[in-house]
Amino acid sequence: MTAALPAGVYGKPPADVADTPPEAIQFSPLTPGAPALERQAEASLASMTMLAPPGTLERRYAMALALRAVAPGGAFTVLAPKDKGGTRLRKELEVFGCTVEETARRHHRIAVCTRPSALNGTDEALSNGAPRLVEDLGLWSQPGVFSWDRIDPGTALLLQHLPSFSGRGADFGCGLGLLAHAVLQSAKVTQLTLIDIDRRAIECAQHNIADARAQFRWTDARDADPELSALDFVVMNAPFHDAGAEDKTLALSFVKRAAEVLRKDGVCWLVANRHLPYEAILQPLFKRVTLRIETGGYKIYEATK
């Protein structure tokens, strides 16, 4: 019987593509505070509706977790845009032992199945998508986290040019903690707050940064945080994608928050894709904006409050 069990949802399935029970529990690692599907007991959900993530390892991992959590006989609805994994859903679910009915709506494929009593291949999917030490990076990471198995070129560039900071600072959108690691090389840094909206990134960063000066926040950097004020510095490789779609307002919000949390003469160092209009964003908020580096499609700015 699944009727007494709660329903689950993963991500934000568009309402005009799939129905989600209004009381469904959100499990996305991109929703701060949401419970982790990893820690959900087996067969404890009546159903799951999932907007599947685009990366193959991440998607198969999330679907395997969901199938484990849904009680046999419960409904599992998975959808994804056709060009972001949607066309693969049916096959991937069939490998897990599901019998799938597939439909298409608004550029999405929608796969509906009933959780079978026996699952195949989920252990492999869970192991392939799990957090692990990535030898090449020397860092703890997980498929789905930003640039999970290679250093992003923008991050690499900023790492080459970051100054030695002092005092209290923040890393907005810290990811695995690469920038934070470099910042904490300076003994004059007394405190660094690492912020990311992705629980997996924060959990990896906690593994990667063993330093009592570091504090970790699984939160939306756009939200006000009374503990973040009068900072000496902020570093960021600002995101410009929100849930997979390009969103320039996200970068704008990050810069605005940096300007709010810095003290007078505090500095913000950021790397940005050249095509984004950062000068226009930075100039009204900071008294001095210096373009430090422009190369290979990236720009590094130092902005002084």
Ligand X SMILES: C[S@@+](CC[C@H](N)C(=O)[O-])C[C@H]1O[C@@H](n2cnc3c(N)ncnc32)[C@H](O)[C@@H]1O
Residues contributing to the site for ligand X (CB under 6 A): 146-147, 152, 155, 173-175, 178-179, 195-198, 201, 220-222, 237, 239, 250
Measured from the CB of residue 192, what is the shortest distance to ligand X in angstroms? 12
**Across the chain, how many H-helices and E-strands are there?**
8, 17
Using only the alpha carbons of the chain, give its radius of gyration.
21
Measured from the CB of residue 166, what is the shortest distance to ligand X in angstroms? 20
CB-based burial of residue 59 (10 Å sphere; 0-12 exposed, 13-18 middle, 19+ buried)?
Answer: buried
Q: Indicate the residue among 74 and 143 with the shorter CB distance to ligand X.
A: 143
Residues in Cβ contact with 82 at an 8 Å cutoff, skipping those fewer than 6 apart: 104, 107, 108, 109
Please give the distance of CA 147 from its chain centroid, rounded to a whole number: 10
Q: Indicate the residue among 110 and 267 with the shorter CB distance to ligand X.
A: 267
Torsion sign across C-alpha atoms 12, 275, 196, 261? negative
Q: Indicate the residue among 67 and 194 with the shorter CB distance to ligand X.
A: 194
Residue 203 main-chain phi, psi, to 5 deg: -65, -40
Q: Indicate the residue among 61 and 146 with the shorter CB distance to ligand X.
A: 146
Measured from the CB of residue 174, what is the shortest distance to ligand X in angstroms? 5
Using Cβ positions, the residue closest to ligand X within the complex turns out to be 173
Measured from the CB of residue 75, what is the shortest distance to ligand X in angstroms? 30
DSSP 8-class letter at 40: S
Alpha helices in the chain (DSSP H): 56-69, 89-95, 122-128, 153-161, 178-183, 199-208, 248-261, 278-282
Of how many residues is the chain composed? 305
Beta-sheet pairing, 262-273 with 231-237: parallel
Q: Indicate the residue among 100 and 272 with the shorter CB distance to ligand X.
A: 272
* CA–CA separation, 192 and 220 (whole Å): 17
Q: Indicate the residue among 24 and 194 with the shorter CB distance to ligand X.
A: 194
Q: Indicate the residue among 97 and 153 with the shorter CB distance to ligand X.
A: 153
Please give the distance of CA 203 from its chain centroid, rounded to a whole number: 11
Measured from the CB of residue 267, what is the shortest distance to ligand X in angstroms? 17
User: Among candidates 115, 109, 117, which has minimal Cα distance to 91?
Assistant: 109
Measured from the CB of residue 37, what is the shortest distance to ligand X in angstroms? 18
Measured from the CB of residue 201, what is the shortest distance to ligand X in angstroms? 5
